Amino acid sequence: MNKSNHDQRSGAVLWLTGLSGAGKTTIAKQVYAFLSSGGYHPLMLDGDEVRDAIRDPHWGFDNQSRLNGSYRYARLASLIAKQGHVVIIPTISMFEEVRSWNREHTPGYYEVYLRTEETTRKARDPKQLYDERVEDRRFMAGLDLSVELPSNPDLVVDNNGGEESIVAVSDLIFRNFVEHLQSVGC
């Protein structure tokens, strides 16, 4: 949101979801740069960074821990948006109930599903999560744990390209999100 209108307008949340290797964080960083260049002052809450910052020893990777963590992300993003900020949150977001909660409780909520083929995700594998040689791969979303794919995202983007497509995909998301921001008065 623009600095001059900060106190008068509500914020918004750009919720980027997709499986590991879909490009969520990479795209979020580029959209962040576009928003910053466009006069907005976004805040990015990367799922992995939030988990690391909170450092709850009971926050595991099993289904229930992931559900609890997803609600943490959602409530934190909603709280910040209610204070007038634009929030970008790249997260796997395995649960439809959390995305539904976002739609009901989060001002300016805008959901983007980065749909990416398994072969592409495995080729990218930034965290070596798809590497079969890794000893402990339990609780991986989309392999060991089922994921409820978004049933009603605002935008679906097929993200199967290489590095050259990052700017194009990010620009598409940016343009659609800015249109959304304008429609909700941000």
- Of 70, 78, 93, 170, catalytic: 93
**Torsion of Cα atoms, 18 then 19 then 21 then 25, to 10°:** 40
- What is the DSSP annotation of the chain? --GGGTTTS--EEEEEE--TTS-HHHHHHHHHHHHHHTT---EE--HHHHHHHH--TT--SSHHHHHHHHHHHHHHHHHHHHTT-EEEEEE----HHHHHHHHHHSTTEEEEEEE--HHHHHHH-TT--S-TT-S--TT-BTTTB-----SS-SEEEE----GGGHHHHHHHHHHHHHHHHHHTT-
Catalytic residue flag (residue 170): no
Active-site residues, by number, are 93
